[in-house]
Structure 1
Amino acid sequence: MSQLDILLLVLRVAFGAFVPLCFIAVLVWMERRGAAFFQDRSGPNRANILGFRAGGLVQNLADAVKLITKEDVIPDHVKHKFYFVLAPVIVFFIALVSFAAIPFADALVINGKEYIMQAIPTDLGILWFLALAGFSVYGIILAGWSSHNKYGILGGLRAAAQVISYEIPMGLAIISLLIVYGTVSLTEMAQLQGQLLFGFIPMWGVVLQPLGAVIFIVAAFAETNRTPFDLAEGESELVAGFHVEYSSMKFGMFFMGEYVALFTSSAIIVTLFFGGFQIPWFATETLVNHARPVTVLMMLLLPVFAKVFAMWISKNNRSHYDRVDDPRVREAQIYIKGLWGLVAAIEIVLFIYLITVSGGVADRILVTILQIITFLVKTTLMCFVYVWVRWTLPRFRYDQLQKLGWQTLLPLSLLNIFVTSAIVVALS
């Protein structure tokens, strides 16, 4: 392997490992601020370091310190301590590795060699996600069983009942997509979504398979154990369910695994149904061929977006009552100065790119960076949908989920396969 091959391999693996971990803090913040917004109350706004609250992000650091320093207790009645400790490791590890096969940009071509932008450049594609995502439920079942607690066991049983309710409709929804795309490669699926239907409609999966998108998204909510399908932990019924006996960082691994799974699930939904890394109406080759005008457009729009963002920071960083020399206003001013410093640095880099290295490999690297940003923005928006649903809908009973899966989603997914097959055969 050349030095370039090793460098790109390290960068891809680092992206696949560290980006989901970094998003844990972002998603916890989003969860709390989103809950506060939907419930018309204040979110985390007190924890600070030298007066800096970072919009509530400092609260995450306080939680991390609490979990790390908390006493790690394994109750005496736990008979299978090895499996008790193994369960949270399975949940967290499976959620993290599931992201490895999701492409975060189009294949990067350098000197005629193609580099797949995935942490693990495997051809298994969607099959990798299905195999691993279904395995994560074993960690939940194992946690409930090994806890030797009635609430924990009931949580594990609910997880088992849940998995047989949504896995089949989810798989059948993907079959419909495979009929349309004709490949299991997630990179090829995303590339196909860069084309236009009738010359002006992006060929996203949600356009070609609207019913399949609804079925898959509903099943994905159940996959991640998020409200309204958090039946395995149901606080009001099972007092946290499968993780009721866990404390310290073993509970923290369940906690982190849930948010990594949320991020991974959002990423796979975006890849299958919302164009993945594709920018609407700007396929990869289109961007490469028009890299210079695209760069000029970015240089013009970046200050506009920064100005809007700065106004948002100013509006949301002030006390709810009049205060002389408001410390939150001073904090906001520091953030705004940092924002404009970042904008200036980006503008300088783009200007240097225009006058020195534009063309060839540099254009493809620029397009790859743009596609990574697009992928992360879409995934973040999908994560917000998860938060939105959680704080809007009440929890289902587990028998209602089974009824939804077997009597509604399963027949609809079978019907979707028949209709999709008929249309594809007719058009071919």
Structure 2
Amino acid sequence: MISFVFYLAFLLIFVIFAVYAERKTAAFIQNRLGPMEVGPKGILQTVADLLKMLQKEDIRANAVDLIPFLIAPLIVFAAVFTGFSVLPINADLGGSDISSGVFFLLAIVSIDVLGILMAGWASNNKYSLYGAMRSVAQIVSYEVPLGLSILCVVVISGTLDLNEMSMQQNHNGLLSWNIVNHPVLIIPFIIFLIAGLAESNRAPFDLPESESELIGGYSTEYSGFRWGMFMLSEYGMMLLISILGATLFFGGWSSPLSSFGNGPVWGTIWLLSKAMLLIFVQMWVRWTLPRLRVDQLMSLSWKYLTPLSIVMLFASALWKLWIIG
């Protein structure tokens, strides 16, 4: 329960700073200034946008299917946020004591597909429906390589408990981290990162929104705070993927120095620092690569990432047998 409250508070604060950071990152990569006027260096721009969004009227078209239209953003946000409940924060504050934490996380987060499909269908708008169907196809397709890349870590760790995985990587500093101690996991991490971008609907996999052709995809008919919940869920998924990646591959809350920084405060700092680095990489990719076509999106998953992740799962099993032997 304490970890749940921690992540809720952190997520709300994180989104405010992440939007500003993404604008500045985009401006730096594309040689622009970014926000400059509202507050020093535009630091209050996101706060101003948030206040404006909260004051906007909740407009609904007459033809929408009202009940599913209203609850769809809640389902998406609840599914994403519930995934945080099993993520360990530090040595003293782990996630929920679930022995199958990885399985629970993947199962509960996948429910967001239902909310997105409900939003697109209930909007009674063809662009919203196209965006929802794209999102469903994309998320279902990329859940396969994402799950297989996580299974590579599960096979080597011998557990589905994220708390136990973090403890296993806390004995010898950086040398105990899975991606260093088990080099076979380097390729699964790359697959995990690519699939995580697709799961988050982040560019170059942002076809469900695709404002140049679908106006805004499944969220086209939403305004005010209900639209904000979709955006909050997107940044929440980005944070969830980053913390999960840090936990699976980069030691979680463990320090890179074996003799320093494994206490509760430092453990939290290390975990969030690793997550922020992965978030920066996701922002970097968004503002560097162009959007894929739908056929390229599906081909990347089914023709390349999925077969490669299956091969790496076998390689991870062989690596585990070799270590045991």
Normalising by the residue count of structure 1, what TM-score does the alignment of the two structures yield? 0.72
Distance 2:80 2:197 in 1: 14
State which of 117, 125, 130 in structure 1 corresponds to 2:94.
117
- Residue 153 of structure 1: which of 122, 129, 149 is its match? 129
Mapped partners of 1:275, 1:377: distance in 2: 12
The yes-or-no answer on 1:12 pairing with 2:3 is yes
| Structure 2 equivalent of residue 305 of structure 1 | none
Contact 2:72 2:118 in 1 (8 A): yes
Match of 1:326 in 2: none
Count of residue correspondences: 321
Deviation at 1:179, TM superposition (A): 1.0
Larger Rg: 1
- Partner of 2:81 in structure 1? 96
Aligned-pair CA distance for 1:427: 3.0
Which amino acid in the other structure matches residue 190 of structure 2? V
1:38 maps to 29
- The corresponding residue for 1:399 is 295
Shift of 1:36: 0.8
Which sits farther off after the overlay, 259-268 or 186-195?
A: 186-195
Please name the residue that 1:349 is paired with: none
RMSD: 1.7
* Residue aligning to 2:278: 382
The answer to whether residue 210 in structure 2 is matched with residue 234 in structure 1 is yes
For residue 395 of structure 1, give the secondary structure of its aligned residue in structure 2.
coil
**1:322 — aligned with what?**
none
Would you say the 8 A contact 1:173–1:212 is kept in 2?
yes
Q: What CA distance in whole angstroms lies between the structure 2 residues aligned with 1:261 and 1:13?
A: 15
1:25 is matched with which residue?
Answer: 16
Change (3 A) 1:142 1:45: same
TM-superposed deviation, 1:265: 1.2
- SS of the equivalent of 1:254 reads helix
Shift of 1:117: 2.4
Q: CA deviation at 1:87?
A: 1.0
SS in 2 for 1:202: helix
Aligned to 1:204: 177
- Given that residues 231 and 398 in structure 1 are in contact (C-alpha distance below 8 angstroms), is that contact kept between their aligned partners in structure 2? yes
CA 1:419–1:12: 2 relative to 1, 3 Å: closer
One of 116, 119, 123 as aligned partner of 1:140: 116
- Contact 2:73–2:226 under 8 Å retained in 1: yes
Alignment partners' CA distance in 2, 1:281 and 1:85:
49
Distance (whole Å) between structure 1 residues aligned to residue 100 and residue 43 of structure 2: 37
Deviation at 1:88, TM superposition (A): 1.0
Q: What do the CA deviations read for 1:362-389 (whole angstroms, capped 9, x no partner)?
A: xx8xx11111111111111111111101
1:424 equivalent in alignment to 2:320: yes
What pairs with 1:162-311 in structure 2 (closer than 5 Å)? Answer: 162-196=138-172, 202-207=175-180, 208=182, 209-282=185-258, 286-287=259-260
AA matched with 2:94? M
CA distance in 1, matches of 2:31, 2:265: 37
Q: Percent identity?
A: 37
- For 1:357-372, what aligned pairs fall within 5 Å after superposition? 367-372=263-268
